[in-house]
Amino acid sequence: MNLKTTTALQLRRGDEKEYTSFTGLEGEITYDATKKTIVCHDGKTLSGFPLLKENLENLDIDILQDRGILTTDLKKLDIDILKGRGVLTRDLDNVDIDTLALLGVAKNDLSNVVKTASTEELGLIKIATPSDVFNGVDDSKAITANSVKRLIENLGDDSNVSFGLKISRASEKTFSISKGRCRNSNGTANLYLPENITKSIEMDFSAGMFQGCVIKNSEDKLTVENWYNIVIIGKADGSSDIVLTDLDEEQLLKNEDIVLNNFIHTRTLGSIYMDKFDNILEFRMVRDKFIFASPQSIIVRNSTKTDEVIPVDIDIPLKKDTEVLVHFDFNRTTHTDTLVIVSPETDHQMPILHKNGYITMRCYTNSKSQILVKRTSAVDTYIKMTILEFIEDTF
Domain boundaries, the chain: 12-59, 159-287, 297-394
Q: Which residues contact 66 (CB under 8 A, 6 or more apart)?
A: none
- pLDDT confidence of residue 325: 78
DSSP string, 308-364: EEEEEE-SS---TT-EEEEEEE-TT-SS-EEEEEEPTTT--EEEEEESS-EEEEEEE
Distance CA 272, CA 230 (A): 8
State the CATH architecture for 297-394.
Answer: Sandwich (2.60)
**187, 157, 181, 179: which is closest to 169 by C-alpha?**
157
Single out the residue of 102, 121, 140 nearest to residue 110, CA to CA: 121
**pLDDT 10s per residue in the chain (395 long)?**
455 444 444 456 666 666 666 666 777 887 777 777 787 877 776 667 777 777 777 777 676 666 655 555 555 555 565 555 556 555 666 666 555 555 555 565 556 556 566 655 555 556 676 666 656 666 667 777 776 666 655 544 333 333 344 555 555 545 555 444 433 333 333 333 333 344 433 333 333 333 344 444 434 444 456 777 777 777 666 566 666 677 777 777 777 666 666 667 777 777 777 666 655 566 666 655 556 555 556 666 656 666 777 777 776 667 788 888 777 776 554 555 566 666 555 455 555 555 556 677 778 888 877 887 776 666 656 667 777 777 765 33
| Model pLDDT, residue 5 | 45
Q: Is it true that 12-59 and 297-394 share their CATH fold?
A: no
Q: Are 45 and 23 in contact (CB under 8 A)?
A: yes
Topology of domain 12-59, per CATH? Answer: Seminal Fluid Protein  PDC-109 (Domain B) (2.10.10)
Looking at residue 250, its pLDDT comes to 74
Alpha carbons 352 and 342: distance in angstroms, whole number: 11
Direct distance between the N- and C-terminal alpha carbons of the chain, in angstroms, rounded to an integer: 107
Query: What CA–CA distances, in Å, run from 73 to 65, 87, 241?
Result: 11, 16, 62
Q: Tell me, what's the pLDDT at 42? A: 74
